[in-house]
Amino acid sequence: MLANIISWIAVVLLLVISTGLLLSRDWRWDIGFLAVQYIGVFWLVAQHWPPGMAAVKLVTGWMAAAALGMTLSNTSVRKERVEQFWPQGRAFRLFMVGAAAVLAASATPRIETSVPGIGLPVIAGGVLLVGTGLLHLGTDSRLERVIIGLLTIMAGFEIIYAAIESSILVAALLSVVNLGLGLVGAYLLTASTPEKELE
């Protein structure tokens, strides 16, 4: 019972973090939110995996966030041309997060019915992260945002997938993918920074 309550708290935490990630305009907040997001991911994954194995998600997520953060700290915020075909205001983003949350809330019981045993908070957390990750990809073309979006989608997917697959090999490969995304993001951010700025 207590574990279930904590799981729902983790889902709420993920909702707050996802909203923060979408509204934030400062990379420091982004990295902070990303790091906290993985605590929620850890808790929900730990519902189906042993805590030691679930901790792999936490550590890998933090490593990916650290790689991105270290790179961003060495580059000033780039004045990239942001595509203007989407509304960019905070109200719009807040509305979109609300839509994602409603979608997650409506889809969760249906998924639970077709795949029993995963657990409502696990499904809700996973779907919410996948939804907000897709929002990142759909509303922002900046490199750091794209990588954060992909990491968020992966985190959501991993929460649900952990409930149906507990292979160590999968855990290891998913960790490599997460870490790889973080490193690729760091690499691309470095590549997109003018040499003078790096000096």
Partner 1 sequence: MSAPLLWILIPIGIGALTFFVARDRLLIITGGAASLLLAGIALIVPIDEALRLGPFSLKIASSASLFGRSLVLNPTHAPFLVIVYGMCALWFFGAEAAGVARRLVPFGLIITGLLVASIAVQPFLFAALLIEIAVLVAIPMISPLNQTPGRGLVRFLIYQTLGMPFILFAGWLLAGVEASPGDLALTIQSTVMLGLGFAFLLAVFPLYNWIPQVMDESSPYIVGFLLWSLPTIASIYGMGFLDRYAWLRTSAQLLAGLRATGLLMVVTGGLWAAFQRHAGRLMAYTAVAETGFILIALGLNPATSTDITFLLIPARGLGIAIWSLSLSILKIKNNDEPLRFTSMQGLARSYPLASAGLILASLSTAGFPLLAGFPPRIALWEGLGQQSLGSAVWFLVGLLGLLIGAARMLAVLVMNKEETAWVSRETWVQRGMLGVGLIGLFILGLFPQALRPILEELPLMFQRLGR
137 makes contact with partner 1 (CB under 8 A): yes
In the bound state with partner 1, the residue whose beta carbon lies nearer, of 6 and 193, is 193
154-157 own/partner pairs: CB under 8 Å, 24+ apart: 154/178, 154/181, 155/37, 155/38, 155/41, 155/57, 155/61, 155/129, 156/125, 156/126, 156/127, 156/128, 156/129, 156/130, 156/131, 157/126, 157/130
2 makes contact with partner 1 (CB under 8 A): no
Instruction: Report yes or no: 60 and 136 within 8 Å, Cβ to Cβ.
Output: no
Of 89, 117, 167, 199, the one binding partner 1 (CB under 8 A) is 167
Of 79, 169, 196, 199, the one binding partner 1 (CB under 8 A) is 169
In the bound state with partner 1, the residue whose beta carbon lies nearer, of 91 and 191, is 191
188 makes contact with partner 1 (CB under 8 A): yes
Q: For residue 126, how far is the Cα from the chain centroid? A: 10
Phi-psi region of 117 (alpha: psi -120 to 50; beta: other; left: phi over 0): left
Alpha-carbon gap, residue 109 to 104, rounded angstroms: 9
Of 153, 155, 159, 162, the one binding partner 1 (CB under 8 A) is 153
Of 84, 191, 196, 199, the one binding partner 1 (CB under 8 A) is 191
Of 114, 116, 196, 199, the one binding partner 1 (CB under 8 A) is 114
**Closest separation in Å from C-beta 110 to partner 1:** 11
Instruction: Report yes or no: 82 and 141 within 8 Å, Cβ to Cβ.
Output: yes
**Closest separation in Å from C-beta 150 to partner 1:** 5
Task: Give the SS3 label for residue 86.
Answer: coil
Of 128, 154, 159, 162, the one binding partner 1 (CB under 8 A) is 154
181 makes contact with partner 1 (CB under 8 A): yes
Structure tokens at 119: 């657990």
Reference 77, options 136, 25, 24; nearest CA is 25
Which residues sit at the interface with partner 1, rule CB under 8 A? 114, 137, 141, 143, 146, 150, 153-154, 157, 161, 164-165, 167-170, 172-174, 176-177, 180-181, 183-184, 187-188, 190-192, 195
